[in-house]
């Protein structure tokens, strides 16, 4: 079904992103660069305790501070806003209590908003927070997910019989039989510490409620403005048409900005209540505390292998730390399902069993974060694969080569329920070996080791489920759009304007869409202007999540562009007294079969718009075209890849230094290879952060967050990130016109696994191994026996 794309077209060209011209000059307009006349500034009082009952005893002192306009509590917001509860038909019986924009009587995680001050400035609002009289009665908190499952654990929410939010078991094939006949069984327990996305621009809201029009306009720093339009309309009980959500330039998202947050809803409700614009931007401490966290898992996993070194089965048990609520609206459990479905995904195996317990905790909710769950499943799998290779005394890449799914075996639904299609493991492995130049790399490693350096090389095979279709959230009853819509219109001067439901968060999808429209219509990208991110201006659709922009938004753009082109050629043919088939549109010129220009698009457009009296009777060109794309097949588009990490471990300090990193990926057709490569690199470094640095830590005694600043929450910086070599294999998805699949998250999917395997390759020389992420110096030193 792939269309034949022009050889000399714009799709597939490494063009720089036009929009970044503004950004390099400091002309970006992010959330906090906007203000509204008459606005009030908000600051939140947040719970300093992980679990506490509270009573607000005095707000007069705060309220009467000069410059303060209002001090609001949960009760105050009731007339302006509904409460909500996360439910999903996919997770029947999920326990997640009702939530509101502010906590009532009881706070269940540190950082939960409990009151809101509105004032003439943020500084005054913050002054007032300190004057609010509030009696706290600290309650026992459950923070560790394993301990929270114990029968005598404190209840995360009062009155709940247990902290188990949801459990499931699933699988396929005969697991018992597979383990019974295995020649080798490897197993391990892996601990993943929660971390978070840390987009450099934090979340916030500038809400303007117009009581006369009964309409809300709100600026958010968000990945999915249309989703927020749906939920704000629901929560504020407004018609969707009277809610406009605008996301201008967005300073990174990574999944952090795709949820409904109590604080953002509270700002909208406050604007409605005060009948004035209200502005709030999260500071970094609030962000580290109250942005969703992700990936807190304890995985016990076993793998059965036969005498020939073929994988027979996986048996995994996952305890997931969910947080105090399942995130709204998509549910935090999605992450665990994604992790479990990723186990074994690159390989052939006969049987699979997974057990999941998602556990409530007195911590901020977890949620979908870049490459949702995949890094957990991938790291678990690759750890087992390395253990098996080592037990068999064979090269870890050879073990992988033997077990990777072959192209001829596809499509295939594996025993974990993952549908594998159009993957290129064999070709990818060949390109990977070429890129790494393994013989010389191994010689280099041997030379370093000969100098006494503790270096290691680790591999990770990757399969990612990308570009989710309607089958992902639709059956769960969650209003998440998996379609995209693009409107293209021809302007009188011959320019084209595109309005698209995809969202630009820095990944460059606007540029990709422009290149698609350029080829689809037949105009240069420089003549195309694109608008996204404003529900008042862009049609409804999915926004930015699940690496969907190229695979879904690209199809909508192609469809709309082809329709506009057909209208243009039809009109031109009528004016030129020929047939549309005899004409082509190239670079803004209508040309004939010989390529001779016959009519400039600008002239045609001017004729139609301004000199309609000259047109033949009956000719009604439609110079605005729309296409909505819904993929009917394949709930997900699977992509594959291989990564390698070279690290050095300092045995004295325990510090791990990533030296180099390699990636070969197959994300189908690349709309813009330059931008795809940088998505991969950025994703890899985010995964390296996950592997080595990033952790949201809580005091095991009192449950206090210990990583509330960027001095405590460590991130990859330029001096501790490696150079990254990137290669590609292109297997276009056959079920679409362009053949693009998801590209934006695969780097993050495989990097933690590759780093974990590399560190363990290095530590093998000392007979040690690590099984915990992040692999901090303390983790390494404990593994080496230097620390208890």
Partner 1 sequence: MDHPDEPTAEIALTLNGEPIRARVPLRQNLVDWLRHGQGLTGSHVGCEHGVCGACHVQVDGRVVRGCLMLAVQADGARVETIEGATETGRIRALQDAFFNRAALQCGFCTPGMLLQAAELLATNPAPTRTEIREALSGNYCRCTGYHAIVDAVEAAAAVLRA
Interacting residue ranges for partner 1, rule: CB under 8 A? 16-17, 20-21, 23-30, 32-33, 35, 66-67, 120-124, 197-202, 249-252, 254, 283-284, 505-508, 674-675, 678, 681-686, 709-711, 715-721, 723-724, 747
Residue 158 contact among partner 1, ligand FES, none, beta carbon within 5 to 8 Å by kind? none
Kindly identify the residues of this chain, within the stretch 590-619, that bind ligand FES according to CB under 6 A. none
Instruction: Determine the Cα–Cα distance for residues 453 and 444; give it in Å rounded to an integer.
Output: 11
Report angle CA 240, 241, 245 to the nearest 5 degrees.
Answer: 75
Backbone torsions φ then ψ of 121, nearest 5 degrees: -145, 160
> SS3 for 226?
helix
Instruction: Report the residue number, 313 or 505, with the smaller CB distance to ligand FES.
Output: 505
Residue 212 contact among partner 1, ligand FES, none, beta carbon within 5 to 8 Å by kind? none
Residue 27 contact among ligand FES, partner 1, none, beta carbon within 5 to 8 Å by kind? partner 1
Instruction: Determine the Cα–Cα distance for residues 577 and 593; give it in Å rounded to an integer.
Output: 14
Query: On the CB side of 435, how many CA atoms lie within 13 Å of its CA?
Result: 23
Tokens of 111: 């950082």
Residue 255 contact among ligand FES, partner 1, none, beta carbon within 5 to 8 Å by kind? none
Instruction: Report the residue number, 202 or 208, with the smaller CB distance to ligand FES.
Output: 202
Number of residues in contact with ligand FES under rule CB under 6 A = 3
Instruction: Report the residue number, 251 or 365, with the smaller CB distance to partner 1.
Output: 251
CB of 710 to ligand FES, least distance (A): 7
CB of 199 to partner 1, least distance (A): 6
Residue 686 contact among partner 1, ligand FES, none, beta carbon within 5 to 8 Å by kind? partner 1
Report angle CA 500, 502, 506 to the nearest 5 degrees.
Answer: 120
Instruction: Report the residue number, 252 or 377, with the smaller CB distance to ligand FES.
Output: 252
Contact 757, 645 (CB under 8 A): yes
CB of 281 to ligand FES, least distance (A): 12
Contacts of 617 (CB under 8 A, 6+ apart): none
Kindly identify the residues of this chain, within the stretch 153-212, that bind ligand FES according to CB under 6 A. 200
Q: How far is CA 72 from CA 37, 45, 64, 402, in A?
A: 22, 10, 13, 63
Q: How far is CA 666 from CA 355, 520, 779, in A?
A: 31, 24, 34
Instruction: Report the residue number, 356 or 505, with the smaller CB distance to ligand FES.
Output: 505
CB of 18 to ligand FES, least distance (A): 16
Strands in 589-592's sheet, in edge-to-edge order, are 583-586, 589-592, 597-600
Of positions 329, 367, 506, 708, contacts ligand FES by CB under 6 A: 506
Residue 716 contact among partner 1, ligand FES, none, beta carbon within 5 to 8 Å by kind? partner 1
> SS3 for 6?
coil
Q: Positive or negative, the Cα torsion across 274, 276, 277, 279?
A: negative
Backbone torsions φ then ψ of 659, nearest 5 degrees: -95, -45
Residue 33 contact among ligand FES, partner 1, none, beta carbon within 5 to 8 Å by kind? partner 1
CB of 617 to partner 1, least distance (A): 50
Instruction: Report the residue number, 361 or 507, with the smaller CB distance to ligand FES.
Output: 507
Instruction: Report the residue number, 164 or 721, with the smaller CB distance to partner 1.
Output: 721
Instruction: Report the residue number, 251 or 396, with the smaller CB distance to partner 1.
Output: 251
CB of 508 to partner 1, least distance (A): 7
CB of 253 to ligand FES, least distance (A): 10
Instruction: Report the residue number, 237 or 719, with the smaller CB distance to partner 1.
Output: 719
Closest residue by beta carbon to ligand FES: 200
Tokens of 698: 């809580």
Q: How far is CA 423 from CA 317, 377, 435, 784, in A?
A: 27, 18, 19, 39
Q: Is 252 in the site for ligand FES (CB under 6 A)?
A: yes
Instruction: Report the residue number, 200 or 787, with the smaller CB distance to partner 1.
Output: 200
Residue 718 contact among partner 1, ligand FES, none, beta carbon within 5 to 8 Å by kind? partner 1
Report angle CA 408, 409, 412 to the nearest 5 degrees.
Answer: 140
Residue 675 contact among ligand FES, partner 1, none, beta carbon within 5 to 8 Å by kind? partner 1
Q: Is 346 in the site for ligand FES (CB under 6 A)?
A: no
Q: What are the percentages of helix, strand and coil residues in the chain, rounded to 5?
A: 30, 25, 40
In which element (H, E) is residue 638 found? strand 637-649
Residue 24 contact among ligand FES, partner 1, none, beta carbon within 5 to 8 Å by kind? partner 1
Instruction: Tell me the sheet residues that pair with 196.
Output: 293
Tokens of 374: 């995949």
Instruction: Tell me the sheet residues that pair with 487.
Output: 499, 626
Instruction: Report the residue number, 188 or 283, with the smaller CB distance to partner 1.
Output: 283
Query: Applying CB under 6 A, which residues contact ligand FES?
Result: 200, 252, 506
């Amino acid at each position: 079904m792939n269309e034949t794309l022009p050889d000399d077209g714009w799709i597939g060209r490494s063009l720089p992103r036009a929009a970044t011209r503004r950004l390099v000059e400091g002309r970006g307009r992010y959330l906090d660069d906007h203000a509204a006349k008459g606005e009030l500034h908000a600051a939140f009082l947040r719970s300093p305790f992980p679990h506490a009952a509270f009573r607000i005893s005095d707000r007069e002192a705060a309220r009467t501070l000069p410059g303060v306009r209002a001090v609001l509590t949960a009760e105050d917001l009731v007339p302006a806003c509904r409460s909500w509860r996360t439910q999903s038909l996919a997770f029947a019986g999920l326990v997640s209590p009702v939530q509101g924009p502010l906590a009532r009587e009881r706070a269940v995680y540190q950082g939960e908003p409990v009151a809101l001050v509105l004032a003439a400035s943020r500084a005054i609002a913050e002054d007032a927070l300190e004057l609010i009289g509030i009696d706290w009665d600290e309650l026992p908190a459950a923070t560790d997910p394993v301990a929270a499952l114990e029968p005598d654990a404190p209840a995360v929410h009062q009155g709940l019989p247990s902290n188990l939010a949801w459990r499931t078991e699933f699988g396929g094939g005969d697991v018992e039989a597979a383990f019974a006949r295995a020649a080798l069984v490897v197993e391990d327990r892996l601990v993943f510490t929660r971390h978070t996305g840390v987009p450099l621009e934090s979340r916030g809201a500038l809400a303007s409620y117009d009581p006369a029009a009964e309409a809300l306009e709100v600026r958010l720093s968000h990945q999915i403005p249309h989703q927020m339009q749906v939920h704000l309309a629901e929560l504020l009980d407004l018609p969707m048409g009277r809610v406009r959500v605008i996301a201008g330039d967005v300073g990174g998202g990574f999944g952090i900005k795709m949820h409904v947050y109590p604080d953002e809803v509270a700002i909208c409700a406050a604007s409605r209540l005060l009948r004035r614009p209200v502005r709030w931007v999260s500071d970094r401490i609030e962000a580290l505390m109250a942005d969703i966290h992700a990936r807190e898992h304890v995985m016990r996993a076993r793998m059965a292998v036969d005498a020939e070194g073929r994988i027979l089965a996986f048996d995994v048990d996952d305890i997931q730390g969910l947080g105090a609520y399942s995130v709204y609206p998509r549910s935090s459990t999605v992450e665990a399902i994604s992790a479990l479905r990723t186990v074994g995904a690159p390989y052939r195996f006969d049987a699979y069993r997974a057990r999941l317990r998602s556990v409530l905790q007195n911590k901020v909710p977890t949620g979908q974060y870049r490459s949702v769950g995949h890094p957990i499943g991938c790291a678990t799998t690759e750890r087992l694969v390395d253990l098996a290779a080592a037990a068999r005394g064979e090269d870890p890449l050879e073990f992988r080569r033997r077990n990777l799914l072959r192209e001829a075996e596809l499509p295939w639904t594996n025993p974990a329920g993952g549908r594998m299609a159009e993957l290129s493991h064999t070709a990818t492995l060949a390109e990977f070996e070429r890129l790494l130049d393994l013989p010389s790399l191994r010689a280099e490693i041997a030379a370093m080791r000969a100098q006494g350096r503790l270096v290691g090389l680790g591999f990770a095979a990757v399969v990612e489920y990308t570009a989710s279709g309607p089958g992902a959230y639709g059956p769960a009853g969650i209003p998440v759009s998996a379609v995209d819509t693009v409107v293209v219109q021809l302007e009188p001067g011959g320019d084209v304007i595109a309005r698209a439901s995809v969202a630009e968060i820095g990944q460059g999808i606007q540029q990709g869409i422009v290149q698609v429209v350029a080829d689809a219509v037949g105009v240069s990208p420089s003549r195309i202007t694109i608008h996204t991110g404003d529900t008042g201006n862009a049609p409804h659709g999915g926004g930015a999540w699940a690496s969907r922009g190229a695979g879904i938004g690209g199809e909508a753009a192609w469809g709309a562009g082809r329709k506009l082109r057909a209208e243009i050629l039809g009109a031109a043919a009528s004016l030129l007294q020929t047939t549309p088939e005899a004409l082509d549109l190239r670079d803004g010129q209508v040309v004939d079969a010989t390529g001779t220009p016959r009519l400039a698009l600008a002239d045609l457009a001017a004729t139609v718009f301004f000199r309609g009296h000259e047109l033949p009777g009956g000719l009604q060109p439609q110079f605005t075209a729309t296409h909505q794309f819904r993929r009917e097949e394949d709930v997900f588009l699977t992509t594959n890849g291989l990564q390698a990490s070279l690290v050095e471990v300092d045995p004295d300090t325990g510090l791990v230094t990533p030296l180099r990193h390699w990636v070969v990926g197959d994300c189908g057709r690349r709309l813009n290879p330059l931008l795809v490569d940088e998505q991969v690199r950025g994703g890899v470094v985010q995964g390296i952060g996950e592997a080595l640095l990033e952790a949201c830590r809580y005091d095991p005694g009192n449950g206090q967050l210990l990583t509330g600043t960027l001095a405590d929450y460590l991130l990859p910086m330029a001096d501790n990130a490696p150079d990254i070599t990137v290669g590609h294999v292109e297997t276009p998805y056959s079920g679409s016109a362009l053949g693009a699949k998801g590209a934006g998250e695969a780097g993050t999917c495989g990097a933690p696994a590759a780093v974990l395997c590399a560190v363990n390759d290095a530590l093998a020389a000392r007979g040690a191994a690590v099984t915990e992420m992040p692999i901090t110096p303390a983790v390494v030193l404990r593994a080496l026996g230097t620390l208890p």
